[in-house]
Chain A
């Protein structure tokens, strides 16, 4: 197993390099380039622009620029924000915990809700509970994240005045767990409800398929309690496609997080990316893209490793 993880990590290196090359190329293809911000400024002359270009190495060929970015990136020098002039690494270090805090909560909530709902709907196929849940998950699956967020704000924030409209905590107030949690409810609901839809549907479908298998009839025939049959034999096998979907949804989680952070004013990576994109802050954009794609690749690797635990027939070599 250790060797497998190591080899997969090695395989991830060219993948991530590829992603960074593409990101770099796209960012450099932007008309105006990194100095576009200065071009409209009457105090910056053409000579200044040329000097800046030389100072930043922008007059070098593209592959030289990329290699120099890469060599600095691996040593931890991720450059400086063109807007706030703070180190990119520090900016990301400041925002990443907030996004991980949001996404982690969403992840735990969706898994803890989708497991029982998926299993129960499959066990009681075509019951009222099944129909209600299947209908609800389908509805949430078809709802744009941002609109769900708006609706939740309108209902719980503006009409009922139960929960705060945005932010990660009440500004200026000392740390208070209850306050933190109240700020967390709506953003988490926004992403979790949409994700819950697809997770429940996959788990239900694969549970139904597994429940019809012969070995489950055998398990029941030898007198095992229903709970044991479902928990030990059915769920473990049915969970394989579910794990894939959960892992593949990590990029979706990022998307949900960006939009949600935007709506709720959550100071996370999504907001950082958004602010950087609208201000052409290239070093920050490169940093955020690198961190996010690394997280996505790691999530997929984690899913593959988890497969081995769920299904001993899978052999890694």
Chain B
């Protein structure tokens, strides 16, 4: 049922299609492009888009399109992994708060409030400065550690509503252990909102990574990411606007696709909700 409803959401299907194409292009980058992403060519810097370089070249004569393909590998990976970290953390904290309740619930939710009140980008910048440019793994951990709160609230709310439902009480009555109740009965019933939160998490992680890299604190050059390709855009956009436009367009396409998919999933899992 959920599958059918998702497929009926045309924009979501379109998003899935675009994202698949982007992913495939990034994975098959060496086959799609004849250029090397990191090899500089000082005789052809800032060439405007042409048949030879469909998206032009950058300040070091590198083919912009090729760098976007390879950058996609890094940016998309960070998006997916970050969402995975955030969802795991959020599900764990939210599940614990919702299932155990009492004082632990209070403590954990006040902690969530506190995390919400932190200006997130400020913390990211601090970490970026501390680590002098971060590796992919570190970015994933830091971004993940700063974006689990929404999931934890969602999971807590579903757990609270499930906790005293008959099938859970029944499981408890026949002597099921807490762990089994959570894993077998409660988690599968909260999968819908978690999947939606995960999808939207991917979108916001891609944006966060690109913002961080744009500020020069993310993944360091020469490894291209969609964000760090825009790092020098402010000084370059006068003479070579394409260097500022195309990488951002890639971010936009990926994020808009993921958001459409999230929208479709939300409708698919929650049929009562009208768009």
Contacts and interface: CB of A to CB of B under 8 A. Distances in A.
A143 B116 contact: no
Interface in A252-289: 254-255, 258-259, 262-263, 273-274, 277-278, 280, 285, 288-289
Nearest to B206: A144
A100 interface: no
Contacts of B207: 144
B255 interface: yes
Interface in A113-171: 138-139, 141-147, 150-151, 153-154, 158
A3 to B, nearest CB: 21
Nearest to A273: B122
A12 to B, nearest CB: 9
Contacts of A292: 119, 122
Contacts of A145: 211
Contact of B117 (A19, A31, A141, A280): A19
Interface residues of B, number: 39
Given A31-B130, A150-B237, A263-B234, A288 B256 contact: no
Interface string B96-134: 000000000000001001101111111101100110000
Contacts of A248: 116
Interface stretch (B46-54, B56-64, B77-85, B244-252): B244-252
Given A154-B241, A154-B244, A296 B259 contact: no
A300 B118 CA distance: 13
B214 interface: yes
Nearest to B254: A142
B233 A255 contact: no
Contacts of A29: 130
A292 B252 CA distance: 29
B209 to A, nearest CB: 10
Nearest to A18: B114
Contact of A150 (B116, B119, B230, B259): B230
Interface in B199-231: 203, 207, 210-211, 214-215, 230
Contacts of A142: 203, 252, 255-256, 259
A152 B155 CA distance: 39
A288 B126 CA distance: 12
A81 B93 CA distance: 38
B126 A277 contact: yes
A139 B255 CA distance: 9
Contacts of B252: 139, 142-144, 147
Nearest to A159: B241
A114 B251 CA distance: 25
Interface of B: 110, 113-114, 116-123, 125-126, 129-130, 203, 207, 210-211, 214-215, 230, 233-234, 237-238, 241, 244-245, 248, 251-252, 255-256, 259-260, 273-275
9 contacts: A143-B248, A143-B255, A150-B237, A158-B241, A248-B116, A255-B211, A259-B121, A274-B125, A293-B118
Interface of A: 15-16, 18-19, 22, 26-27, 29-31, 138-139, 141-147, 150-151, 153-154, 158, 205, 208-209, 212, 248, 251, 254-255, 258-259, 262-263, 273-274, 277-278, 280, 285, 288-289, 292-293, 296-297, 300
